[in-house]
Amino acid sequence: MSRYRHIDPEDLPAGFCSACHEECTAISVDMGIGAYEFWGSREVHVDIQAVSPCCEAEMLEYLPEEEDEE
């Protein structure tokens, strides 16, 4: 089973990768733990999150301003 789920590209946010600061459009990834059993009940944990396609890191709306080092 693939970790990548299909969601309409128009619904995914555009912005910047928090790791490499590249401009990109997010992809949806299932970050859930998958199948598990709790007191005899079999379940599947699904946690769909929008992340950057390059680093699978959090998406930022704006790039952070660089601090001047003196």
For residue 48, report the phi and psi dihedrals to the nearest 5 degrees. -80, 125
Check residue 69 and give its pLDDT: 53
Nearest to 49 by CA among 28, 32, 24: 28
Phi-psi label, residue 55: left if phi above 0, alpha if psi -120 to 50, beta otherwise? alpha
- Domain positions in the chain: 9-60
pTM of the model as a whole: 0.65
For residue 66, report the phi and psi dihedrals to the nearest 5 degrees. -75, 135
Q: What angle do CA 9, 54, 10 make, to 5 degrees?
A: 10
Instruction: Between 4 and 21, name the one with better pLDDT.
Output: 21
Instruction: Between 25 and 66, name the one with better pLDDT.
Output: 25
Each residue of 5-58: pLDDT tens digit?
Answer: 556 667 788 889 999 989 998 988 888 899 999 999 999 998 888 899 999 899
Check residue 28 and give its pLDDT: 86
